[in-house]
């Protein structure tokens, strides 16, 4: 066996706090297999993995799992990892996707250094490999049409039968294959096939196609080729050429493994080991490039980076951090069993991260005005507010307080139910960082009956939100000074689908019908504290009591736009539910 010399070591990313990633299970069947290979010196003790996306779409959380497994293992065993674009189908692939994929993998926190490969760059070598198999009488040119080939292949329970072209001479095959490459035959008229076993119970072994004739522009190689190798004839050989030791992939490729091995053994070249694991499934969404593509192309969402999408670009825009995604991947583990991870697991990961790291800020999403009648008109006080109670190094900032403020409309009830600890007639509550206020009366719109003003009095002795007399208030509200408030748009998201398993919701049902019509709710009249002015896109905050929010790229100097990443856990909502 021979394999290429390993090149330079992976440069591990320094900027990310990778050492904080928590691994709940530090062992799994893949790591065990690798440890056995190291112990037996199977690959001279090397560990070298790869992540091989086809540039035909954007990466999603399922890819993140695969990346964390392959690259994470390589890092942990002091090995190498490659990023390889599996671009052997010119029809579906585009440069836009390779750029997006590179951006997302980097963002996730992995640096493949110089080890960026393209399967299409191996086309010449692959061609030589194919010639070699023809010479060894292990491949032949077949003239069967697609329909005929399907018929000859047999079925799951019946064997196939040999192609009438199966026994062409080496010379004829060589000539014909050369002719295929030279463009002498029309698209689809012939294929190069591996000569294996038409009666194999594994359909992948029934003389699989290695090359097809296809006149299509390749995003990377233009019109240099009119024949393209199939996945099966590309993947293993690419792994081999790159010196990969462990080729980790989806369980769907399990019954391709015999073929993977067959090509490498027949070619007598270095043979990596393929190991399969279960792909990720998430509740209330769909993963899988074709489906995501449909959602994007049919306009059900607003591009690949729509914050409702499970794409890495969408999650980034939504406010997910790379750390939270890596932690999520480590927490869910690796096995071969089918799985369906609850979205709550993902939400936990981002809350866990943002709770520790996101600055606190006050923002009123659905404002109602509160007038503090005994507060001097025109007076403004600057009050100290801590930026993050979970982080003593986060410091404080000053926020303006004045006679008229906004509070959340939901924080007032004229006739409050039991356990409602917020503002109500005659009730005293604390304004976070400010004063205790008591509600005296309310003003309603004569026509609609809607509350337009809440009149309160404040207790000057409670500045900062403390009182010396041991008095305790039940509720603490967030607020924004009306005079100083900055207007903002806030986008609230709900799950993209109404069904836990949109793809398996009902017999024969189309997953598309379970799209949630209310997955996006826009609040246009939000009031945020002035410190939020001029914060750049992707800045993350906790809006006190409301959840975690992220500055959206649609933000302009005139209009702030925020995405709600995820709400805070809300025990009041639970109580309310129980009371009904």
Partner RNA sequence: AGGGCGGUGGCCAAGCGGUAAGGCACAGGUCUUUGGAACCUGCAUGCGUAGGUUCGAAUCCUACCCGCCCUGCCA
Binding to RNA in span 255-274, by CB under 7 A: 255-256
Annotated catalytic residue 489: no
**Residue 10: which of 39, 47, 41 has the closest Cα?**
47
Least separation in angstroms between CB 119 and RNA: 7
CA pair distance 54, 290, nearest whole angstrom:
12
Conformation bin of residue 482: beta by default, left when phi > 0, alpha when psi is -120 to 50: alpha
Q: Pick the catalytic residue: 54, 75, 323, 428?
A: 54
Residues in binding contact with RNA, number by CB under 7 A? 93
Nearer to RNA, 305 or 353 (CB): 353
Least separation in angstroms between CB 462 and RNA: 8
Pairing relationship of beta strands 451-458 and 436-444 according to DSSP bridges: antiparallel
Least separation in angstroms between CB 446 and RNA: 29
515 binding RNA? (CB under 7 A): no
Through-space distance between the first and last CA atoms of the chain, rounded to whole angstroms: 71
Annotated catalytic residue 289: yes
| Region binding RNA by CB under 7 A among candidate stretches 40-48, 239-247, 417-425, 444-452 | 417-425
How many helices (H) and strands (E) in the chain?
13, 25
What DSSP string runs through 409-469? GGGB-SS--TT--SB-TT-EEEETTS-EEEEEEEEE-TTT--EEEEEEEE-GGGGGG--TT
| Region binding RNA by CB under 7 A among candidate stretches 6-14, 68-76, 426-434, 437-445 | 426-434
20 binding RNA? (CB under 7 A): no
Question: Would you give the binding string for RNA spanning residues 32-71, x where CB under 7 A is met?
Answer: x-------------------x-x-----------------
CA pair distance 193, 418, nearest whole angstrom:
75
Length of the chain: 580
Nearer to RNA, 107 or 421 (CB): 421
CA torsion through residues 48, 49, 55, 59, sign:
negative
Instruction: Kindly identify the residues of this chain, within the stretch 68-87, that bind RNA according to CB under 7 A.
Output: 86
Nearer to RNA, 10 or 85 (CB): 85
571 binding RNA? (CB under 7 A): yes
Least separation in angstroms between CB 314 and RNA: 21
Residue 541 bridge partners (DSSP) = 549
> Contact with RNA (CB under 7 A): which of 335, 366, 402, 498?
335
Query: What token pair was written down for 527?
Result: 């009031």
What DSSP string runs through 90-112? TTT--HHHHHHHHHHHHHHT---
Instruction: Kindly identify the residues of this chain, within the stretch 445-504, that bind RNA according to CB under 7 A.
Output: 464-466, 475-476
Phi, then psi, of 227 in degrees rounded to 5: -125, 140
Alpha-carbon distances of 517 from 68, 137, 298, 314, 563, rounded to whole Å: 33, 58, 15, 18, 18
CB 355 within 8 A of CB 321: no
Question: Would you give the binding string for RNA spanning residues 200-219, x where CB under 7 A is met?
Answer: -xxxx---xx--xxx-----
Nearer to RNA, 212 or 306 (CB): 212
Nearer to RNA, 53 or 322 (CB): 53
> Contact with RNA (CB under 7 A): which of 150, 215, 217, 559?
150
Nearer to RNA, 256 or 326 (CB): 256
Least separation in angstroms between CB 166 and RNA: 14
Annotated catalytic residue 102: no
Q: Pick the catalytic residue: 18, 279, 291, 336?
A: 279
Residue 44 CA, distance from chain mean position: 35
> Contact with RNA (CB under 7 A): which of 175, 355, 357, 366?
355
> Contact with RNA (CB under 7 A): which of 4, 188, 376, 395?
188
Local structure of 308: helix, strand or coil = coil
Query: What token pair was written down for 335?
Result: 């096995």
Nearer to RNA, 10 or 56 (CB): 56
As annotated, the active-site residues are 54, 279, 289
């Amino acid at each position: 066996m021979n394999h290429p010399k390993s090149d330079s070591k992976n440069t591990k990313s320094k900027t990310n706090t990778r050492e904080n990633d928590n691994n709940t299970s530090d062992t799994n069947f893949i790591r065990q297999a690798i440890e056995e290979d190291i112990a037996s010196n199977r690959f001279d003790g090397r560990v070298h993995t790869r992540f091989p996306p086809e540039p035909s779409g954007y990466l999603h959380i399922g890819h993140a799992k695969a990346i964390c497994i392959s690259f994470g293992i390589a890092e942990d065993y002091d090995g190498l990892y490659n990023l390889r674009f599996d671009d052997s189908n010119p029809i579906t692939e585009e440069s836009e996707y390779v750029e997006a994929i590179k951006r997302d993998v980097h963002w996730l926190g992995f640096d493949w250094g110089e080890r960026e490969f393209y399967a299409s760059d191996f086309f010449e070598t692959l061609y030589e490999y194919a010639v070699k198999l023809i010479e060894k009488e292990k491949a032949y040119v077949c003239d069967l049409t697609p329909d005929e080939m399907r018929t000859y292949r047999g079925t799951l329970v019946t064997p196939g039968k040999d192609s009438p072209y199966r026994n062409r001479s080496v010379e004829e095959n060589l000539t014909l294959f050369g002719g295929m490459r030279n463009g002498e035959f029309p698209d689809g008229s012939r294929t190069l096939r591996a000569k294996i076993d038409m009666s194999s119970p594994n359909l992948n072994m029934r003389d699989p196609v290695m090359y097809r004739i296809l006149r299509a522009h390749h995003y990377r190689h233009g019109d240099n080729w009119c024949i393209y190798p199939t996945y099966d004839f590309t993947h293993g050989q690419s792994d081999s050429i790159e010196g990969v030791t462990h080729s980790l992939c989806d369980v769907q490729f399990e019954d391709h493994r015999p073929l993977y091995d067959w090509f490498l053994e027949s070619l007598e070249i270095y043979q990596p080991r393929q190991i399969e694991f279960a792909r990720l499934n998430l509740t209330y969404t769909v993963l899988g490039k074709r489906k995501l593509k449909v959602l994007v192309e049919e306009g059900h969402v607003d591009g690949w980076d729509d914050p409702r999408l499970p794409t890495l670009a969408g999650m980034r825009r939504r406010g997910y951090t790379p750390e939270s995604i890596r932690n999520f991947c480590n927490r869910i583990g690796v096995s071969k069993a089918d799985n369906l991870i609850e979205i709550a697991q993902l939400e936990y990961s981002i809350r866990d991260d943002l709770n520790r790291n996101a600055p606190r800020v006050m923002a009123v999403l659905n404002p109602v005005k509160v007038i503090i009648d005994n507060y001097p008109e025109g007076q403004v006080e600057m009050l100290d507010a801590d930026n993050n109670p979970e982080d003593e190094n986060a410091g404080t900032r000053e926020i303006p307080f004045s006679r008229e403020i906004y509070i959340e409309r939901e924080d007032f009830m004229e006739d409050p139910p039991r356990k409602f600890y917020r503002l109500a007639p005659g009730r005293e509550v604390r304004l976070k960082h400010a004063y205790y206020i008591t509600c005296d009366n309310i003003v309603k719109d004569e026509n609609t009956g809607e509350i337009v003003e809440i009149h309160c009095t404040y207790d000057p002795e409670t500045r900062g939100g403390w009182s010396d007399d041991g008095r305790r208030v039940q509720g603490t509200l967030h607020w924004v000074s009306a005079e100083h408030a900055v207007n903002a748009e806030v986008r609230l998201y709900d799950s993209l689908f109404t069904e836990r398993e949109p793809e398996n919701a009902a017999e024969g049902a189309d997953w598309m019908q379970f799209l949630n019509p209310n997955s996006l709710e826009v609040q246009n009249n939000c009031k945020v504290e002035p410190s939020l002015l001029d914060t750049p896109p992707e800045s993350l905050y906790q809006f006190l009591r409301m959840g975690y929010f992220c500055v959206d790229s649609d933000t302009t100097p005139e209009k702030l736009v925020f995405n709600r990443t995820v709400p805070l856990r809300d025990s009041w909502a639970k109580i309310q539910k129980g009371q009904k």
